[in-house]
Structure 1
Amino acid sequence: MSLLVAESLEKNFGGVRAAKGVSFTLEAGELLAIIGPNGAGKSTTFNMVGGQLRPDGGVVRLAGEIITGLPPRLIWRKGVGRTFQIAQTFVSMSVVENVQMALISFHGETRAVLPATARLHREAALGFLARVGMADVADKPVNELAYGDVKRVELAIALAAEPKLLLMDEPTAGMAPRERAGLMELTATIAREHRIGVLFTEHDMDQVFAHADRILVLVRGEIIAAGTPDEVRADARVKQVYLGEHGVEAALRARKARLAQAGATHPTAEAT
Structure 2
Amino acid sequence: MGEPGTLVNIGDSIAADPTVNDWFPYWVNIPTVARAASPIGCPTGANTFGKQVARGLGLDELDYSCTGMAATKPKNKSLGETFATAIADGALSVNTRRVLVTIGANDAYDATYNPAPGNVDAFVEAAAGAVDEIKAAAPNARVQIVGYPTIADGDFICPLHVIPSGIAAAPAVSVPQVRAVEVVAQEMQVRLAQRTGVEFVDMKPSTAANGMCSPDGQRQYAGVIDTTGPGNNLPFHANAAGHAHIAEVLLRS
Give 1 or 2 for the bigger CA radius of gyration.
Answer: 1
Return the structure number with greater helix share.
Answer: 1
Q: If each structure's strand is expressed as a fraction of its own residues, which one has the higher value?
A: 1
What's the TM-score once normalised by structure 2's chain length?
0.29
